[in-house]
A and B are shown apart, each in its own frame.
Chain A
């Protein structure tokens, strides 16, 4: 670590050293926060990687290269954050007992938030932009051509609404739904259609025309299926584009959230989504009306693609997005939904069906991790409270553990729920990130400080971080349901940001003053 600091000192430009020298004698708080260094290094890294990503030409064979390069900025951001945290633990402003002014906690809060935002921006923005650029490229250059060509031909097709509903999963043999079987089944259905057409004594020309169109569509749907199944990431990209491209209406957006019942050809499916920890392997899964679980791939294969193929015959079809969302029935996002989810989680009937899908495994692991994490925090909280108030009785500790574990699980459920509510990878993930970030600070404090003072510090961190977060996300969840504010839209994001800032500015300074007092307390 010392070598690293020495290297950093060597790499530090002269002007930064000069600014440092000026700050240390006039603005010690700003100096100790290393904010000037944070601004310089994060913005420089950001600029370099953004330029790099922008200027690297995209070629189909190496379409993800800019994304891989952008991961370096992620590493830089994380390492920088680690170094910054380490430096903050060393310049312990609390231990110094300086003459603090009333504006001190506000300035400190602002500096910390700004530093944190810069590090997150440095770590995430290049990856985000690189990923978007790659997906845009793939969609525009590769998939869209297939889809657009199909759409143009489909648009000229006349309606045929005689298709049967899909069989439920119970009646379906998995082997039946391989693409080859599906094409065979389509051909069979086409034949039936032909017979039907003949039975209806349609004009020969029309019949021929319809048969021709049906065959044409069969070929197109086969092409589409093959194109979709060609490569795993592309399949996912197409799926993502189906569900995200051109989404402007709220209902379509809500389709991406958790627990939305989807009606496909009269069959009801409920979409579940685990938090999007892994960009490429987001764990979507569905439960059908019989209580069976389908992984999202199976759902897409068995339900959506089948549906697409069949809708290709339909005149209602205007675009592929409409095909996916046209018949999706959405419920209004009620606040009660959270409690329902909570009941689902706690009763956990799916725990008995773990072997069915791998998605459930990951969901189970996440919940398990949350419970373990909550228990650890609860134990710390209990120890803190007992040491703080001098309560030694075991049963009181036990009550604390039970109560605070429950409270923390509820809190995590809120955050997790919000995470799903907000979409794939933004604020919900950030919420988790924040919790772990402050837990990391707490660990550092644990490392730096000693004995009971550590616990006091931990108490402060716990209360100063988790309470505002729980407050903000509960409020956000309730408001989004009551006023139909979608947190994923710009207004919702602005609301979240403002709420976070207001809460931070209101709560953290008061907690800092408390910490000031706590640090001064004798043991």
Chain B
């Protein structure tokens, strides 16, 4: 109860400052604390209306009122509940908070040791690697093309059989690492491949069916489907068939299908490929919320070429690099750890920069400040500097030199540096 009130106050505090954040937090709050589908749908509608209003440059005053109203409704419903239910909820909340505070170690969903894979005797081989996945965390798999990202996640999804190593799914099945009941595993994980399989019938029926075969039937089934349709903004597609949808819409339907039954492990292979920039942002935000949900935390394993977006949302990052020799090509895990820890022991700072001035002008400015590692990457320049020159200092240097900077990114703590062997 206290947590709810605190979170509600937090939402209220954001209403006037940042309505987007308020709407976002409201959505999370309704998900966590309310069982009323209508309230959830209203919170979703606020989010979608905000996107629309922004595009059309309209006023968002009525949405502020709507957020207030939803909050009042949630709190009001709690207050009007009988004492025993309120007591129960209070005790439940206290217990939940206790567990959240005292569970220092997150629950492990998957543990793999020495996993490797080989396609053919002289074909691509993925070198042995270790990997752990935890509930409530997003693990991003990034790297070069053909470095084995999809292969890596397919091994975890049970699509490929690892050539060596041990796999454990402690939440789903008891195994000795070698002999796994894949049926049990696959019943508990949601895997969305890069190439989607077409389905028959309408989107809504497909979602109902997917949920029903997972054992959620009747009214709950109807409510959950209605909610996910609103959440992923699939209302306009709900009566359409697979062949009538675009690639992005199909991916969203697949996501809805994967998320609807709240799996413990969600594996996504290049889900952003078919989404536009707005849809990407919404999708990543949703993913973050779903993973960190108190009620149903999910472990997310995701591959993508959208490096920076992945680094923004992921707790852990796995970077894969491809080494080609005369006889074969090998995929190696070159980084596997917390995203925030990457680059802590770096030797230099790196920046991506694009400006309207010529390369010579830029080089001259940089050389004046002893920055001589400078390379042209087509649309942008890659700059390496000593640790004494950080992003703020570099921007200052450039602005003092009246350089017209059109793009700037500090990649010092990004796995982006691994692409360049920095």
Are A and B subunits of one complex? yes
Decide if A522 touches B182 in the complex (CB within 8 Å): yes
Contact B158 A522 (CB under 8 A): yes
**Which residues in B have their C-beta under 8 angstroms from that of A523?**
159-161
Within 8 A of B (CB), among A70-98: 87, 90-93, 95-98
Q: Name the one of B154, B162, B182, B208 contacting A520, with C-beta atoms under 8 angstroms.
A: B182
User: Could you tell me if A25 and B208 are in contact, using CB atoms closer than 8 angstroms?
Assistant: yes
1/0 per residue, CB under 8 A from A, across B206-239: the answer is 0011101111011001100000000000000000
Contact stretch, chosen from B70-78, B129-137, B195-203: B195-203
Asked whether any CB of chain B lies closer than 8 Å to the CB of A170, the reply is: no
B241 within 8 A of A: yes
Q: Which of A26-34, A216-224, A298-306, A418-426 contacts B (4 or more CB under 8 A)?
A: A26-34
By beta carbon, the residue of chain A nearest B197 is A95
Closest to B205 in A: A24
Q: Are B222 and A98 in contact (CB under 8 A)?
A: no
Give chain B interface residues in 130-157, CB to chain A under 8 Å: 154-155
Report if B379 contacts A (CB, 8 A).
Answer: no
List residues of chain B with CB within 8 A of the CB of A32.
Answer: 209
CB contacts (< 8 Å) of B158 on chain A: these are 520-522
The stretch of B61-69, B183-191, B404-412 in contact with A is: B183-191
Query: A174 within 8 Å of B by Cβ?
Result: no
Within 8 Å CB of A96, what residues of B? Answer: 209-210, 213
What 1/0 flags go to A15-53 for Cβ under 8 Å of B? 000001000111111011000000000000000000000
Measured between beta carbons, the chain A residues less than 8 angstroms from B161 are 521-523
Which chain A residues in 475-523 approach chain B with CB under 8 Å? 516-517, 520-523
B243: Cβ under 8 A from any A Cβ: yes
User: Is A99 in contact with chain B by the CB < 8 A criterion?
Assistant: yes
A517 touches B209 (CB 8 A): no
Does the CB pair B160–A517 fall under 8 Å?
no
Question: Which chain B residues lie closer than 8 Å to A26 at the CB level?
Answer: 212, 217-218, 221
* Chain B residues near A98 (CB-CB < 8 A): 187, 212-215
Q: Which residue of B lies closest to A26 (CB)?
A: B217
A25, A516, A520: the one within 8 Å of B185 (CB): A520
Assuming the contacts A98-B187, A517-B183, asked whether A25 and B200 have C-beta atoms less than 8 A apart, the reply is: no
Are A25 and B182 in touch, CB under 8 angstroms? no
A200 sits at the interface (CB 8 A)? no
A25 touches B215 (CB 8 A): no
- CB atoms of A99 and B213 under 8 A apart: yes
A2 at the interface (CB under 8 A from B): yes
Q: Chain A residues with Cβ under 8 A from B214's Cβ? A: 98-99
Of A28, A95, A516, most buried by chain B (CB within 10 Å of CB) is A28
Q: Which residues of B contact A29 (CB under 8 A)?
A: 213
Q: Which residues of B contact A20 (CB under 8 A)?
A: 205
Given contacts A97-B187, A517-B183, A520-B182, contact A24 B215 (CB under 8 A): no
Do B209 and A28 touch across chains, with their CB atoms under 8 A apart? yes
Q: Which residues of B contact A25 (CB under 8 A)?
A: 208, 212, 217-218, 221-222
Contact residues on B (Cβ < 8 Å of other chain), bracket: 20 to 34
Residue in contact with B199 in the complex, picked from A90, A520, A521, A522, CB distance below 8 Å = A90
Least CB separation from A522: chain B residue:
B161
A8 to B218, CA, bound (A): 27
A24 touches B208 (CB 8 A): yes
Q: Mark A129-142, 1 if CB is under 8 A from B, else 0.
A: 00000000000000
**Are B243 and A2 neighbours in the complex by a CB distance under 8 Å?**
yes
Q: Which B residues, 357 to 387, have Cβ-Cβ distances below 8 Å to chain A?
A: none
Inter-subunit contact B182/A28 (CB<8 Å) = no
Query: Given the complex of chains A and B, what is the CA–CA distance between A26 and B154 in angstroms?
Result: 32
**Complex-state Cα separation, A516 to B205, whole angstroms:** 23
Cα(A96)–Cα(B183), bound, Å: 11
Interface residues of A in 250-268 (CB under 8 A from B): none
A91–B200 touching, CB < 8 Å: yes
Given A25-B208, A25-B221, A99:B241 Cβ within 8 A: no
Residue among A2, A31, A516 making CB contact with B183, cutoff 8 Å = A516
Distance in Å: Cβ of A228 to nearest Cβ of chain B: 55
User: How distant is the Cα of A92 from the Cα of B197 in the complex, in angstroms?
Assistant: 10
B223 to chain A, nearest CB (A): 10
Docked Cα-Cα span, A521 to B179, in Å, equals 11
Chain B min CB distance to A368 (Å):
38
Interface centre among B154, B185, B208 (most CB of A within 10 A): B208
Which residues in B have their C-beta under 8 angstroms from that of A2? 241, 243
A91 surroundings in chain B (CB, below 8 A) = 199-201, 209
Kindly list chain A residues whose C-beta atoms are within 8 Å of the C-beta of B185.
520
Residue interface mask A89-111, B partner, CB < 8 A = 1: 01111011111000000000000
Which residue of B160, B182, B198 contacts A90 across the interface (Cβ within 8 Å)?
Answer: B198
Contacts of B221 in A (CB 8 A): 25-26
A96–B210 Cα distance when bound, in Å, is 7
B218 CB to closest chain A CB (Å) equals: 6
**Cβ–Cβ < 8 Å partners of A31 in chain B:** 205, 209, 212
Complex Cα–Cα for A97 and B208 (A) = 15
State in angstroms the CA–CA spacing of A20 and B206 once bound together. 12
Q: How far is the CA of A95 from the CA of B157 in the complex (A)?
A: 13
Q: Which residues of B contact A522 (CB under 8 A)?
A: 154-155, 158-162, 182
B186 near A520 with CB under 8 A, answer: yes
How far, in angstroms, from A467 to B218 measured CA to CA in the complex? 39
Interchain CB contact under 8 A, B218 and A28: no
| 0 or 1 for each of A259-292: is its CB under 8 Å from B? (1 = yes) | 0000000000000000000000000000000000
Query: How far is it, in angstroms, between the C-alpha of A500 and the C-alpha of B91 when the chains are bound?
Result: 59
Residue of B nearest to A6 (CB): B241
Interface centre among A26, A516, A521, A522 (most CB of B within 10 A): A522
Set of chain B residues within 8 Å of A97, measured between Cβ atoms: 183, 186-187
Complex CA gap A20/B212 in Å reads 13
Shortest Cβ gap from A91 to chain B (Å): 6
Q: How far, in Å, is A9 (CB) from chain B's closest CB?
A: 9
Instruction: Give the Cβ gap from A108 to chain B, nearest Cβ, in Å.
Output: 12
Which of B159, B160, B205, B210 is packed against the most chain A CB atoms within 10 Å?
A: B205
Q: CB-nearest residue of chain B relative to A520?
A: B182
In the complex with contacts A26-B218, A99-B187, A522-B155, A93-B200 CB distance below 8 A? no
The CA of A87 and the CA of B213, in the complex, are separated in Å by 17
> In the complex, which residues 267-288 of chain B have their Cβ closer than 8 Å to any Cβ of chain A?
none
In the bound complex, CA of A27 to CA of B208 (Å)? 10
Identity of the chain B residue whose Cβ is nearest the Cβ of A95 in the assembled complex: B197
* Closest residue on chain A to residue B208 by CB atoms: A24
Complex Cα spacing A178 to B160, Å:
74
**Most B CB within 10 A of own CB, among A20, A92, A521:** A521
* Chain B, residue nearest A517 (CB): B183
Determine the chain A residues whose CB is within 8 A of the CB of B187 once the complex forms.
Answer: 97-99
The CA of A90 and the CA of B197, in the complex, are separated in Å by 9
Smallest distance from the beta carbon of B238 to chain A beta carbons, Å? 13
A44 to B154 alpha-carbon distance, docked (Å): 47
Tell whether, in the assembled complex, residue A521 and residue B217 are in contact, meaning their CB atoms are under 8 Å apart: no
> Quick one: given A2-B241, A2-B243, are A99 and B215 in contact (CB under 8 Å)?
yes
- Shortest C-beta distance, B368 to chain A (Å), equals 58
User: Whole-angstrom distance between the alpha carbons of A164 and B200 in the complex?
Assistant: 73
Q: How far is the CB of A135 from chain B (nearest CB, A)?
A: 43
A232 to B158, CA, bound (A): 64
Chain A hits for B208, CB < 8 A: 24-25, 28
Across the A-B interface, give the 9 residue pairs with the lowest CB-CB distance, nearest first.
Answer: A98-B213, A90-B200, A28-B212, A520-B182, A522-B161, A99-B215, A25-B221, A520-B183, A24-B208
Q: Can you list 25 A-B contacts with CB-CB less than 8 angstroms, sorted by A residue number?
A: A2-B241, A5-B200, A24-B212, A25-B208, A26-B218, A27-B212, A28-B209, A31-B205, A90-B198, A91-B201, A92-B197, A95-B197, A96-B209, A96-B213, A97-B187, A98-B212, A98-B215, A99-B187, A99-B213, A516-B183, A517-B183, A521-B158, A522-B155, A522-B159, A522-B182
List 10 additional A-B contacts (Cβ < 8 Å) besides A91-B199, A522-B160. A5-B241, A28-B217, A91-B200, A95-B197, A96-B209, A516-B183, A521-B161, A522-B158, A522-B159, A522-B182
